[in-house]
C-alpha cells in the first residue's frame, strides 16, 4: 500500500474483541473504504465500513485478498501466525501485518523464547525445561521454595500458565499436562520457573523490520476472579496507561528487554514486522520478561486503541512501508479502562445462547455520543437477537481524565448491558 493512498481495503483475521477494536480503528480513517474480518462476529457488522467474510482455509483467504485488491491483511490471533499464514501471503506478494512462522515461535514455544532470552542475556526468571513427568516431578521434589510457575510450552489460549503454591498442587498440574493431556501437544513439554514478585505490565511494540516503537503501556488482569483469584483466563480487563509504570521503569525496559530482543532477532535472522507484545514483571531489581506474544494483546488492545490519537491505519502503513521511525505517536489525555463481560463459569464450563440487551448505545454511530464503546467477541445473531456464544462475550471500554473517572464511567455503563449469567470483575 502506498503512503496516504485513498480507498484502502483491509482484511483482518480473527473473531474477537481485539479484531473488532482493530477494525473500528482502521475504519476511522476517511480513506478507508472497507474492512473485511474473517471469520469475525456479528457484532462487528454494526461498525460502518466493516463486513464479515468466511473462509474454510488460508488459500481461500489469500485468493479473496488478491481478487478484492486488499491493501493489507492484519492477523489478530497467534494460531495463524504460528501455522505460517504470513509466509503464504508473502509468497503471493500480499502485504500482511505480522511475523512469519519462524519468528512467531517466540509465542508458539515458551521453551524457544526462554532459550533465546538466556542466549542473549535478556532479563527473565530462572527456569528449567522438561519433556516428561518423572524428570519434572524429580525437579519439583527438590525445588524447595514456593510459589513456583509451571508453563505449557505451546499455545493454550492464555490458559497454560499456573502459579502453584505447593508441591502437591504442582504435581496435580504435571498430571494435568503430561498424563491427562489438558492442552494436547502444547503441554507435552513444559517450563518450570521461579515466581517473580512485583507488578505486571504489558508493552506492545510496533516494528517495521528495521526500527521499533512502543505503544502506550497497559495492565492486564488475567485471573478470572476479583483480587487476582481463580484460574488464568485470556484476560478479564485492562488499564492503559499502566498506572504503576514509571518513566524510569520504561527506560530500563527498553534498555534491558526490548532493544536486546530486537537485536537478538536480527542476529538469529528472524524477520519481524508487526506487533510484539512484552509481558513483563517490574521487580525491586528492575524489569524481567515473562513472555512474548507475537500480536496485539486482548483485552489490552481495546484500551490502547481507544487511547490512540494517531491514525491507526497510518501506524500499520508505517510498519508495512518502513517509515515507522519517522512516525510520531500521540495519545489522548487520561486513562482507558476495559472490562470483559464474560459468561459465568469462564474459563471452565459455561452456557451460551442468551440474548444480549442494552448494547445499542455503545455501537456504531451512537457510540460517538458516549464515553464508552463496546467491542464484541463471543456473540452470534439468532432469531433476530444478538446472543452469547463464547466465554468472553464483549469488551466495554471507557476513558476519563483520571483513572478513577475512567473506572467510574466503565462500571456505570456495564450495568446497562444485560444477559443471563453475565459475569465481570469488580476490581479492574
Q: What range defines the domain where residue 20 resides?
A: 9-100
Are residue 315 and residue 201 in the same domain, yes or no?
yes
Are residue 42 and residue 56 in the same domain, yes or no?
yes
Residue 119 lies in a domain: no
Are residue 164 and residue 205 in the same domain, yes or no?
no
Chain centroid, CA 212 distance in Å: 18
103-152, pLDDT tens digit by residue? 999 999 999 999 999 999 999 999 999 999 999 999 998 887 899 999 99
What is residue 2's predicted lDDT score, i.e. its pLDDT?
45
Q: What is the band of 363 on the pLDDT scale with cuts at 50, 70, 90? A: confident
Pick the last residue of a domain from 332, 364, 396: 332
Are residue 225 and residue 252 in the same domain, yes or no?
yes
Residue 395 lies in a domain: yes
What is residue 5's predicted lDDT score, i.e. its pLDDT?
66
Residue 117 lies in a domain: no
pLDDT at 1 over 50: no
What is residue 6's predicted lDDT score, i.e. its pLDDT?
74
Q: What is the band of 330 on the pLDDT scale with cuts at 50, 70, 90? A: very high
- Average pLDDT over every residue of 282-309: 97
CB 12 within 8 A of CB 24: no
pLDDT at 244 over 90: yes
pLDDT at 273 over 90: yes
Report the distance separating Cα 87 and Cα 280, nearest Å. Answer: 29
- For 317, other C-beta atoms within 10 Å of its C-beta total 25
Residue 105 lies in a domain: no
What is residue 368's predicted lDDT score, i.e. its pLDDT?
73
Report the distance separating Cα 363 and Cα 41, nearest Å. Answer: 14
C-alpha cell read off for 207: 516494528
Residue 4 lies in a domain: no
Question: 3-state secondary structure string, the chain?
Answer: CCCCCCCEEEEEEECCHHHHHHHHHHHCCCCEEEEEEEECCHHHHHCCCEEECCCCCHHHHHHHHHHCCCCEEEECCHHHHHCCHHHHHHHCCCCEECCCHHHHHHHHCHHHHHHHHHHCCCCECCEEEECCHHHHHHHHHCCCCCCEEEEECCCCCCCCEEEECCHHHHHHHHHHHHHCCCCHHHHCCEEEEECCCCEEEEEEEEEECCCEEECCCEEECCEEEHHHEEEECCCCEEEECCCCCCHHHHHHHHHHHHHHHHHHHHHCCCCCEEEEEEEEEEECCEEEEEEEECCCCCCHHHHHHHHECCCHHHHHHHHHHCCHHHCCCCECCCEEEEEEEEECCCCCCCCCCCECECCHHHCHHHHHHCCEEEEECCEEEECCEEEECCCEEEEEEEEECCHHHHHHHHHHHHCCCECCCEECCCCC
Q: What is the band of 297 on the pLDDT scale with cuts at 50, 70, 90? A: very high
Are residue 324 and residue 203 in the same domain, yes or no?
yes
Question: How far, CA to CA in Å, does 15 sit from each of 116, 159, 174, 180, 261?
Answer: 31, 18, 32, 29, 29
| Residues with Cβ within 8 Å of residue 117, at least 6 apart in sequence | 123, 124, 289
368-409, pLDDT tens digit by residue? 777 899 999 999 999 999 999 999 999 999 999 999 999 999
CATH number at residue 163: 3.30.1490.20
What is residue 142's predicted lDDT score, i.e. its pLDDT?
85
Are residue 323 and residue 365 in the same domain, yes or no?
no
Residue 2 lies in a domain: no
Are residue 81 and residue 148 in the same domain, yes or no?
no
pLDDT at 187 over 70: yes
Are residue 206 and residue 296 in the same domain, yes or no?
yes
Q: What is the band of 264 on the pLDDT scale with cuts at 50, 70, 90? A: very high
Are residue 318 and residue 215 in the same domain, yes or no?
yes
- Average pLDDT over every residue of 296-322: 97
What is residue 9's predicted lDDT score, i.e. its pLDDT?
98
What are the b/e assignments for 175-213, b being 16+ CB within 10 Å? ebbbeeebbeebbebbbbbbebeeebbbbbbbbbbebbb
The count of structural domains within the chain is: 4
Are residue 326 and residue 209 in the same domain, yes or no?
yes
Report the distance separating Cα 286 and Cα 82, nearest Å. Answer: 31
Amino acid at each position: 500500500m502506498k503512503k496516504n493512498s485513498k480507498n484502502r481495503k483491509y482484511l483482518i483475521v480473527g473473531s474477537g474483541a481485539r479484531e473488532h477494536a482493530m477494525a473500528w480503528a482502521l475504519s476511522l480513517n476517511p480513506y478507508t473504504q472497507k474492512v473485511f474480518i474473517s471469520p469475525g462476529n456479528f457484532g462487528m457488522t454494526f461498525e460502518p465500513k466493516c463486513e464479515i467474510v468466511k473462509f474454510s482455509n488460508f488459500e481461500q483467504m489469500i485468493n479473496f485478498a488478491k481478487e478484492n485488491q486488499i491493501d493489507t491483511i492484519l492477523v489478530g490471533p497467534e494460531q495463524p501466525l504460528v501455522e505460517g499464514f504470513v509466509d503464504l501471503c508473502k509468497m503471493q506478494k500480499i502485504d500482511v501485518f505480522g511475523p512469519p512462522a519462524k519468528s512467531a515461535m517466540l509465542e508458539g514455544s515458551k521453551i524457544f523464547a526462554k532459550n533465546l532470552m538466556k542466549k542473549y542475556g535478556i532479563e527473565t526468571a530462572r527456569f528449567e525445561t522438561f519433556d516428561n513427568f518423572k524428570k519434572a516431578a524429580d525437579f519439583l521434589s527438590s525445588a524447595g521454595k514456593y510459589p513456583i510457575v509451571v508453563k505449557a510450552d505451546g499455545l493454550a489460549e492464555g490458559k497454560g500458565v499456573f502459579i502453584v503454591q505447593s508441591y502437591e498442587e504442582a504435581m496435580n498440574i504435571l498430571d494435568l499436562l503430561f498424563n491427562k493431556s489438558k492442552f494436547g501437544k502444547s503441554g507435552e513439554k513444559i517450563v518450570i520457573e521461579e515466581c517473580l514478585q512485583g507488578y505486571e505490565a504489558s508493552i506492545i511494540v510496533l516494528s517495521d523490520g528495521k526500527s521499533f516503537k512502543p505503544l502506550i503501556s497497559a495492565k492486564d488482569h488475567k485471573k478470572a476472579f476479583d483480587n487476582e483469584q481463580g484460574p488464568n483466563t485470556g484476560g478479564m480487563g485492562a488499564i492503559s496507561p499502566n498506572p504503576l509504570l514509571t518513566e524510569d521503569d520504561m527506560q530500563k525496559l527498553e534498555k534491558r528487554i526490548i532493544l536486546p530482543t530486537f537485536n537478538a532477532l536480527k542476529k538469529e535472522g528472524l524477520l519481524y514486522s508487526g506487533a510484539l507484545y512484552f509481558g513483563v514483571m517490574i521487580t525491586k531489581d528492575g524489569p524481567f520478561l515473562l513472555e512474548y506474544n507475537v500480536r496485539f494483546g486482548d483485552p489490552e488492545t481495546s484500551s490502547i486503541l481507544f487511547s490512540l490519537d494517531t491514525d491507526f491505519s497510518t501506524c500499520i502503513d508505517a510498519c508495512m512501508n518502513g517509515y515507522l521511525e519517522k512516525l510520531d505517536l500521540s495519545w489522548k489525555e487520561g486513562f482507558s479502562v476495559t472490562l470483559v463481560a464474560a459468561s459465568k463459569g469462564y474459563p471452565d464450563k459455561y452456557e451460551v445462547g442468551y440474548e444480549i440487551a442494552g448494547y445499542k448505545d455503545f455501537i456504531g454511530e451512537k457510540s460517538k455520543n458516549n464515553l464508552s464503546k463496546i467491542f464484541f467477541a463471543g456473540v452470534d445473531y439468532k432469531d433476530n437477537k444478538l446472543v452469547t456464544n463464547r466465554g468472553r462475550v464483549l469488551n466495554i471500554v471507557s476513558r476519563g481524565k483520571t483513572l478513577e473517572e475512567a473506572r467510574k464511567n466503565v462500571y456505570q455503563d456495564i450495568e446497562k448491558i444485560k444477559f443471563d449469567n453475565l459475569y465481570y470483575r469488580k476490581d479492574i
